[in-house]
């Protein structure tokens, strides 16, 4: 008697990830359970394990998906052709546009980064993606040639990411308008915060 594996359905796979992301946004990383996801997707809990080894594998896959989406939209390929300050300004602009277009992705990335500790193997996978991004290379270059403030790169990334995320959240929630606080003002503020001048 042969054992037959269930065929993976790409739409169901994406739906599982999307529901996990929605649970993170609505509540927290801690709210993500295979039971809740299965209920929202309309499948049995055991069916989730056809797609993901465990909860951590599901969260890691979601995080990597969002990081790849973010870095695919960062304009990185063109940044290395620009003078450093122009490249930084352009990166900030791309991140702002991404945050406006994909607010859920920004929240998922932020919450997983802040609220969940991946194991060492997962950390290596995440770092490989992050370190390969043209934006990360730009930040490394800025630290190496002392164009950027001489602090750990994670601090620079956090200043940039969290400020732009908060700004776009404030715009979306009506705290202020783009007329009240134009992006160019945020961009100048961030440039002053990270540049070593």
181 dihedral zone (left: phi>0; alpha: psi -120 to 50; beta): beta
Count: domains in the chain: 2
143 domain-assigned: yes
> Cβ contacts of residue 104 below 8 Å, gap of 6+?
21, 22, 25
Do residues 25 and 81 share a domain? no
Query: Residue 131, Cβ neighbours under 10 Å: how many?
Result: 11
pLDDT score of 95: 95
Do residues 98 and 32 share a domain? no
Domain, as residue range, for 91:
63-194
Do residues 136 and 69 share a domain? yes
3-state SS of the chain is: CCCCCCCCCHHHHHHHHHHHHHHHHHCCHHHCCHHHHHHHHCCCHHHHHHHCCCHHHHHHHHHHHHHHHHHHCCCHHHHCCCCHHHHHHHHHHHHHHHHHHCHHHHHHHHHHHHHCCCCHHHHHHHHHHHHHCHHHHHHHHHHHCCCECCCCHHHHHHHHHHHHHHHHHHHHCCCCCCCCCCHHHHHHHHHHHHECC
> Cβ contacts of residue 4 below 8 Å, gap of 6+?
none
Q: What's the token pair of residue 70?
A: 């973010």
> Cβ contacts of residue 180 below 8 Å, gap of 6+?
none
99-150 pLDDT tens trace: 999 999 999 999 999 988 888 999 999 999 988 888 899 999 999 999 999 9
Decide if pLDDT at 1 tops 60: no
pLDDT score of 8: 73
Decide which of 52, 79, 95 is a domain's last residue.
52
pLDDT score of 77: 62
122 domain-assigned: yes
57 domain-assigned: no
148 DSSP β-pair partners: 195
pLDDT score of 4: 42
Do residues 84 and 42 share a domain? no
171-192 pLDDT tens trace: 999 999 999 999 999 999 999 9
5-39 pLDDT tens trace: 455 789 999 999 999 999 999 999 998 999 999 99
pLDDT score of 7: 58
CATH assignment of the domain containing 11: 1.10.10.60
Do residues 72 and 168 share a domain? yes
44 domain-assigned: yes
CATH assignment of the domain containing 168: 1.10.357.10
pTM exceeds cut of 0.85: yes
Do residues 78 and 40 share a domain? no
Mean pLDDT for the chain overall: 92
Do residues 40 and 105 share a domain? no
149 domain-assigned: yes
pLDDT score of 79: 81
pLDDT score of 81: 86
Average pLDDT over residues 149-167: 96
pLDDT score of 2: 43
């Amino acid at each position: 008697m042969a054992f037959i594996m269930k065929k993976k359905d790409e739409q169901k796979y994406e739906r599982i990830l999307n529901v996990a992301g929605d649970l993170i946004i609505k509540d927290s990383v801690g709210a993500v359970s295979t039971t809740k996801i299965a209920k929202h997707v309309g499948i049995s809990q055991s069916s989730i394990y056809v797609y993901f080894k465990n909860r951590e594998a599901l969260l890691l896959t979601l995080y990597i998906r969002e990081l790849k989406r973010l870095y695919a939209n960062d304009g990185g390929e063109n940044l290395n052709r620009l003078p450093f300050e122009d490249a930084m300004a352009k990166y900030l602009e791309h991140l702002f546009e991404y945050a406006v277009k994909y607010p859920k992705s920004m929240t998922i990335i932020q919450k997983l980064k802040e609220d969940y500790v991946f194991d060492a193997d997962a950390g290596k996978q995440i770092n490989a993606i992050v370190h390969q991004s043209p934006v990360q290379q730009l930040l490394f270059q800025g630290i190496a040639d002392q164009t950027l403030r001489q602090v750990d790169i994670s601090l620079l990334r956090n200043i940039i990411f969290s400020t732009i995320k908060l700004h776009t959240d404030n715009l979306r929630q009506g705290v202020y308008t783009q007329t009240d606080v134009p992006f160019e003002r945020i961009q100048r503020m961030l440039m002053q915060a990270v540049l070593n001048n």
